[in-house]
Amino acid sequence: MSGFSGESRLEHPRSERGHTRLESSPPADGTFGQPMEIVMSRFSISWRPLVAIAGFALLAACVSHPIQQSQVNDPSSHAPAMMMQTTAGSVMTTPTGMTLYTFDKDAAGKSNCTGECAQYWPPLIANPGSIPAGYMTVIARDDGQMQWAAHGSPLYTYVQDKVPGDVKGNNFHNTWHVVM
């Protein structure tokens, strides 16, 4: 199989199963079998589809768990809010990540943001049967709805916050503040 001394030549005869069989001179380390380049080439090709599938599965897992607004006010939920790191620091948000605010003109346990104010600063509404826990309480609004409050301060979101973690309403007119 060698044309000249020290030179190896690959031949590609067909095996009895129809696969191409590669033959060569044994490598310098004395091992026999398929050259390592061929083995590694077959291995590297076989794992690529697996990596692609794993990547797509991970991507699907990351985007397939949006929390719907109805879950925010789920009566069985004891946590209508959570903490999230933002540019303003660690702030209280809805389960969907929208920042919660307090209004300086509210009295303890009483919302003074109604009408047009509530259009820009929607109250965090509690469904009937919501269960207060810890520092989270539920207060009655003048319109008859129930609203979540933290330490007695009614909680609101802000319509200009478009994505989770936005804090565009913080210190608005020096009367609206994130809950830390």
Q: How sure is the predictor about 74, in pLDDT bands with cuts at 50, 70 and 90?
A: very low
Predicted local distance difference test score (pLDDT) of residue 54: 65
Rounded Cα distance between 162 and 98, Å, is: 8
Would the pLDDT of 118 be above 80?
yes
Indicate the domain borders of the chain: 1-65, 70-178
The lowest-confidence range among 3-7, 31-35, 140-144, 149-153 is: 3-7
Instruction: State the pTM of this model.
Output: 0.58
Size (the chain), residues: 180
Predicted local distance difference test score (pLDDT) of residue 2: 43
More confident residue, 104 or 23: 104
Q: How sure is the predictor about 8, in pLDDT bands with cuts at 50, 70 and 90?
A: very low
Average pLDDT over residues 122-145: 94
Average pLDDT over residues 25-29: 52
Burial of 77 (0-12, 13-18, 19+ CB in 10 A): middle
Q: What are phi and psi of 158, to 5 degrees?
A: -130, 130
More confident residue, 105 or 64: 105
Mean pLDDT of all residues in the chain? Answer: 76
**Within 24-161, where are the H helices?**
36-63, 69-72, 116-120
Would the pLDDT of 136 be above 60?
yes
Backbone region of residue 72 per phi and psi (left: phi > 0; alpha: psi in -120 to 50; beta: other values): alpha
Extract long-range pairs of 157-162: CB within 8 Å, 24+ residues apart: 157/94, 157/98, 157/99, 157/100, 157/101, 157/121, 157/122, 157/124, 158/99, 158/101, 158/120, 158/121, 159/119, 159/120, 159/121, 159/122, 160/120, 161/98, 161/99
Predicted local distance difference test score (pLDDT) of residue 109: 94
Would the pLDDT of 9 be above 70?
no
